[in-house]
Amino acid sequence: MRRRLLFLLPVALFAIVALYLVVGLSPERDPTLVPSVMIDKPAPDFVLPGLFDDGQGLSTDDLQGQVSLVNFFASWCVPCRAEHPILLRLAREEGVPLYGIAYKDQPDDSRAWLAELGDPFQRIGVDLSGRTAIDFGVYGVPETYVIDRAGRIRYRHVGPLTPAVIEETVLPLIAELRS
């Protein structure tokens, strides 16, 4: 009996290797995705000048007391253009407070871009140096963060938002954080 179990060993080894391959080569998995270490940590301290002349900048204090989204964008970023209709819909139909951070983008370019595509943001901070983005752990635009009432980061999405991400992850999370 024990000898027979020994013959099962290669089958068991194959199963282990197969499991790794199924997980590792799954088309769902993006091997370049870097998980955020900022989850459940307070949003980093920042004070950014505003994009418009109304004197409204964006700082960590603005993220307190409500569930909100922070979106890093740039007019030179093509995927940002792709996700923009989704941000507009979130702001208009779902009433989610959206804050924008213009990453390494000339303010004139950001303004022209928003004039063309529509402005979903309540406030926009200008991060010309990209240092606030680095404090958030951003490694490419667009990135979107869900911030809870206490100003903590609860979720980070890398790359353009998709309807699936919004319906399956972002909106349920916002509803949960609001309740």
Partner 1 sequence: MRRGPGLLSGVLLALLLGLAASTAGAVQPDEILDDPTLEARARTISQDIRCLVCQNQSIDDSDADLARDLRLIVRERLVAGDSDAEIKQFLVARYGDYVLLEPPVKPSTYVLWFGPAAILLVAAGGIGLFFHRRRARSAAPPPLTAEERQRLATLLDDR
Could you list the residues that contact partner 1 (CB under 8 A)? 32, 34-38, 104, 129-131, 134-137, 139-140
Tokens encoding 175: 């509803």
Rounded to the nearest whole angstrom, what is the least distance from the CB of residue 109 to partner 1 in the complex? 16
Q: Find the shortest distance in angstroms from Cβ 83 to partner 1.
A: 19
Place of tokens 């989704």: 86
CA distance 177 to 147: 9
Which residue, 75 or 90, is less far from partner 1 as judged by CB? 75
Of the CA atoms within 13 Å of residue 51, those in its CB half-sphere come to: 29
* Distances in whole angstroms, Cα of residue 84 to Cα of each of 8, 120, 168: 54, 8, 18
Partnered with residue 125 across adjacent β-strands are 50, 101
CB of 96 to partner 1, least distance (A): 25
- Judge if the upstream peptide bond of residue 10 is cis by omega within 30 degrees of 0: no
Residue closer to partner 1 by CB (options 6, 115) is 6
Please work out, in degrees rounded to the nearest 5, the angle formed at the alpha carbon of residue 77 by the alpha carbons of 74 and 81: 90
Residue with Cβ nearer partner 1 (14 or 167): 14
Judged by beta carbon, residue 131 or residue 149, the one nearer partner 1 is 131
Least distance CB 108 / partner 1 (angstroms):
20
Using only C-alpha atoms, the chain has a radius of gyration, in whole angstroms, of: 21
Residue with token string 């979720």: 155
* Nearest-approach distance from CB 28 to partner 1, in angstroms: 19
Identify which of residues 85 and 130 has a Cβ nearer to partner 1 in the complex.
Answer: 130
